[in-house]
Structure 1
Amino acid sequence: MASGQGKRFGSNKLLTAVDGVPLYRRAMDTLAGAGLDRLAVCSPYGEILAAGEELGFLPLRNSGAAEGISASVRLGLSAMEDLDGVLFSVSDQPYLTTDSIIRMLDVFRELETSLCALSWRGRRGNPAVFPRDLFGELAALTGDVGGGAVIHRHPERLILVEAASPRELADVDTPADLLP
């Protein structure tokens, strides 16, 4: 998901470089190496869609981005409805690793009826993987509400997969979040 307007950041944070690589590209590179069956990027930004397409992502223009995160969830889900599960990942976690995503996917593949989310010391974060039977609930989301609402309705199905470090779950909301 790469549709944020960067209001708290003051500009399109997804174009901001971390260690010389824009946030959106770091996210795409991380996901591209995880062995997912299909990749898509939801964004209203042409530069991000073009970069995604070059990396093998299905580019999905998010014309409803102003509605909030649910527009990205619905749009991304529309391209994944035939799969057994869908992973949603944001593009503002510059230190997320491919290894952690692979570990989470391995857990999901073993227990395909569960919800899996990356975590640190029991605290849930992003990304998360949702099984097919919850696609209807994801598709019904509206406004600035994401998959966390679905997770809250099914806490008994949630399996937390520990990240390699807390830094992986850190997201960028303001320029100060990029300071060491």
Structure 2
Amino acid sequence: MNRKLLSAVLLSSSILFSAGCGDDEGEEESIDVEGCEHLKEGPAVPITAAATSAGAPAVSNDHKRYDISLVDATGGKGGSVTFAASEEGDYLFFVSEDVPLTIRTANGVAVEPEAVAKSSTECSEIKGRYTVELGVGTHVLTFGPTSKTSLSFVAEHGEHDHVH
């Protein structure tokens, strides 16, 4: 009888432990859920991208969705926004449209993404997820050229723990 009770306690403990702890794959999926939540629900901030990095509006990793209107650019529509990284580390940029994205430091040095995905099993709204390692400072994000006239954008810090 004691063995059955012990087995039941151990089994329920391991189930609780498994439910509370994510594995490496689960962490990536949960960040997609976080990005998707903001892509779907906002809150939304409408902005218009700038034709050049000069005067480009700022976006942030502040739990907001930025609805970015693109402007006329060489080859179609496009535009730039700025993103200020307050601490160094991985950031994830989610976009609602499959649009080319280039990332540069404020002084023009290209920053290559560590990973790029064009979809998510967690969320059909994600048409692009860019994982980039950024140093502290302002970065210029340039979208396009594309035929799209707008897109939604969400930024998340890679080590971010969101509490609802």
TM-score (norm 2): 0.27
Richer in helix (by share): 1
| Bigger Rg, structure 1 or 2 | 2
TM-score (norm 1): 0.26
Richer in strand (by share): 2
